[in-house]
Amino acid sequence: MAIAQVLALSSSTSSFVRTDRPKVRRAAPSRVAAAAAGATVGEPARRLVAAFDPAIPLASAVTPPSEWYTDPEFLRLELDRVFLRGWQAVGHIGQVKNPNDFFSGRDGHMDWMVPSSKLHEYQESRTSTRMILVYYQSRREYIIECNWKVFCDNYLDGGYHVPYAHGALASGLQLQSYETLTYERVSVQRCESAPAEQEDIDRLGTKAIYAFVYPNFMINRYGPWMDTNLAVPLDATRCKVVFDYFLDESLLDDQDFIDQSLKDSEQVQIEDIALCEGVQKGLESPAYGVGRYAPSVEMAMHHFHRLLHTNLCG
């Protein structure tokens, strides 16, 4: 019974165990770890930060320069200012449900571990936490040949790409009802679903809700399903995206529904991967520098870029 309560850690908190080992040699270290360990960020990366002006209104704003998505030194700055100085989603409660369970991972050059004992101490201090009663189903991981922010930008475009990249998904949504709300460090996109045909499975329910928690965590709620996405940088032009799927208790025994739903979701991910990798190729072209936003729909993307700018200047 894995209830979907997300676990997060901060490099500045003592709620979870943290181990910093920048000098440890590993058989196959990622390029992110090698680049971040002990690196000093220079003036070129800071100039790239300054090239984006968050004060310009969305209707007139230009996007961050392409080097935000291609430059290794800029990624080192992100690792320091964005990933290692704030809260990061790392897993869910089902991964440490037994007394001696634990799981671990690595962000940049910081190793971390979440033991069940520390989680239970944290939960006792947060007795008012609301829990979403959906149950863990499966995990899928994708290595995508794009900068981690390309995946986030694609998620945050207000549904702009959906009718072009996701024909099957678009047919299940009433895209004219799409709306975007932004908060301090969260944005929410929501859309009414189209009535399902009688012979179709009703994977989307009556409404789809897509919540983005800065900087790289996404929560998607639709019908009886909830899934979470975590975009983790591997290097300047490559990321890993982790999908965890959760399902309402009433459908846990409906294997046909589960299989078809996961198959439909997999198709959407394949379409998104192709789109993101194509965007990355465009960003790496010497012909491209900056672009413009679609101001009627890309409010959440602009909000994301402004939050990044604030952190990167800190």
Closest CA to 236 of 78, 88, 110: 78
3-state secondary structure of 257: helix
pLDDT in tens, 75-116: 999 999 999 887 777 777 777 777 778 777 666 556 767 776
Paired tokens of 74: 């800029």
pLDDT in tens, 33-91: 444 444 456 899 999 999 999 999 999 999 999 999 999 999 999 999 999 887 777 77
Q: Report the share of the chain in percent with pLDDT over 90.
A: 50
Closest CA to 72 of 39, 50, 105: 39
Dist. CA 27–CA 39, nearest whole Å: 20
DSSP 263-308: HHHHHHHHHHHHHHHHHHHHHTSTT----B--TTT-HHHHHHHHHH
Domain segments of the chain: what residues? Answer: 3-313
190 contacts 179 by C-beta, under 8 angstroms? yes
Closest CA to 4 of 142, 168, 132, 116: 132
pTM over 0.95? The answer is no
129 contacts 123 by C-beta, under 8 angstroms? yes
Domain 3-313 fold is Naphthalene 1,2-dioxygenase Alpha Subunit; Chain A, domain 1 (3.90.380)
Amino acid present at 298: E
